[in-house]
Amino acid sequence: MNEQISWVSHAARSLRGSVHVPGDKSVSHRALMFGALAEGTSRIRGFLEGEDTRATAAVLQQLGVRIETPADGERVVHGVGLHGLHASTDPLDCGNAGTGMRLLAGLLAGQAFDSILIGDASLSKRPMRRVTNPLAAMGARIDTQDGLPPLHVRGGQHLQGIRYELPVASAQVKSALLLAGLYAEGETEVIEPHPTRDYTERMLAAFGWPIAFEPGRAKLSGGHTLRATDVDVPADFSSAAFFLVAASIVPGSELRLPAVGLNPRRTGLLEALRLMGADIRVEDPRESGGEPVGDLMVRYAPLHGVELPEALVPDMIDEFPALFVAAAAATGRTVIRGAAELRVKESDRLAAMATGLRVLGIVVDETPDGATIHGGTLAGGTVESLTDHRIAMSFAVAGLVARAPVRINDCYHVATSFPGFMQLANRCGFALGLAD
Ligand code: S3P
């Protein structure tokens, strides 16, 4: 793996055109897992060809699931049924994907065999007790390295449903418990401090598993079966986010982003940018595969700083790196609070963005759970992505409005969620290239 790839992003004139961003990462992971556990054959369209989701596909193949790739962005999953997985003699490598590892921990806790889940350097530093503790309360046995991966999941345990109140809003933890709940005796109920993305709940229902859910709460019981179903994956709002910010800050820009997933638990950035003065319209709102989607039209508009409402944080948890760039290019200060979770993502995103923006001449006051960003003029410079895909893409956007080129180190991991970002970006007017 060549992590040494660096990018240089140059100032650009207006951005124009139509940008088709790739499929949703969260939906793609889940479609593979439920397809694998279902009876029958499921076809996934719009599948994200990212490293993260491919890692999950490879893990399921190691566990005995046949998965075909009839075309780019398509998978045919031959389900083996709830009890049809086989042990793998090799460790299961989730790569960079927290979603993959945490959801698989729940799924594997209910199997008759042992498994070992491993990840790359970044994933190996991410906290796992948030899933292993409640899973242990259900009767699972999962060994960690002081709360970090690798996870050694012991099979053959008797799982018992629980009622669990999540201490932090996390769709990954909720989903891990619901997956274990498929194998548990009795009811598993998860209650969240703030509603999070509900793809697991919606997809379980689509695959025919009885589940009761409403924002902030989900309940199911074990002992049913999943029926294969086809899944249409919408374009990933988190990938669209970079273009929403880019077009908002580069004068004269106008971009169209077709068929983007608009699950309300994902679109906090839309609201945040609008509060800052952005001009973003949703056209042709519709449903696709049980999910709200729409075409996003974004035009340049001068942005101003805001005190970000804390209630928006969980609905834009992956979009903060992009928001930092919008705030840096806005007039006035933007205050972020209640976002301590950003410290345990693919990198410490509060520190990564604050440090990088300071290199580019922006004043950022970092706090334990947020930051105050003082908008200003961006200079050029060299910033570190810390191998975090979203940090890399955010600084590529920052380069569009910087006075001199912005060099971004370690951009390899962009392929985890957004393969082809550079080409797509350059097609609509970015001036992004590889550094020497
Ligand atoms: C995800 C949940 C979020 C998000 C991640 C994807 C999911 O993580 O940051 O990119 O697919 O469930 P948390 O559950 O840690 O908030």
Give residue 265 CA to ligand 1 midpoint distance, Å: 11
Q: Which atom of ligand 1 is nearest to the CA of 318?
A: 9
299 is an annotated ligand-binding site residue: no
Residues 6+ apart with CB under 8 A from 89: none
Q: Is the pTM above the cut of 0.95?
A: yes
- Just list the catalytic residues: 318
345 is an annotated ligand-binding site residue: yes
φ, ψ dihedrals at 90, nearest 5°: -100, 155
Q: Return the DSSP state at 154.
A: E
Residues 6+ apart with CB under 8 A from 345: 98, 318, 388, 390
Give residue 11 CA to ligand 1 midpoint distance, Å: 32
Would you say 39 and 253 are in contact if contact means Cβ atoms under 8 Å apart? no
Would you say 98 and 117 are in contact if contact means Cβ atoms under 8 Å apart? no
Q: What is the pLDDT of residues 182-204, one digit of tens each?
A: 999 999 999 999 999 999 999 99
126 is an annotated ligand-binding site residue: yes
Q: What is the pLDDT of residue 290?
A: 83
Give residue 6 CA to ligand 1 midpoint distance, Å: 26
Residues lining ligand 1, Cβ inside 6 A = 26, 99, 170-172, 175, 197, 317-318
**Cis amide prior to 251 (ω within 30 degrees):** no
Angle at 261 between CA 257 and CA 264, to 5 degrees: 120
Q: What is the pLDDT of residue 3?
A: 58
Q: What is the pLDDT of residue 29?
A: 98
Q: Which pair of structure tokens corresponds to residue 79?
A: 């389900």
Q: What is the pLDDT of residues 363-420, one digit of tens each?
A: 999 999 999 999 999 999 999 999 999 999 999 999 999 999 999 999 999 999 999 9
Mutate to test the pocket of ligand 1, among 170, 173, 236, 341 (most ligand atoms within 8 A of CB): 170
Q: What is the pLDDT of residues 142-187, one digit of tens each?
A: 999 999 999 999 999 999 999 999 999 999 999 999 999 999 999 9
Q: Which atom of ligand 1 is nearest to the CA of 30?
A: 11
Q: Which atom of ligand 1 is nearest to the CA of 103?
A: 12
Which domains does the chain possess? 7-23+234-434 (3.65.10.10), 25-211 (3.65.10.10)
Minimal-distance CA residue to ligand 1 atom 15: 170
385 is an annotated ligand-binding site residue: no
Would you say 255 and 248 are in contact if contact means Cβ atoms under 8 Å apart? no
Q: Which atom of ligand 1 is nearest to the CA of 197?
A: 12
Cα–Cα distance between 142 and 283 in angstroms, integer?
46
Give residue 376 CA to ligand 1 midpoint distance, Å: 31
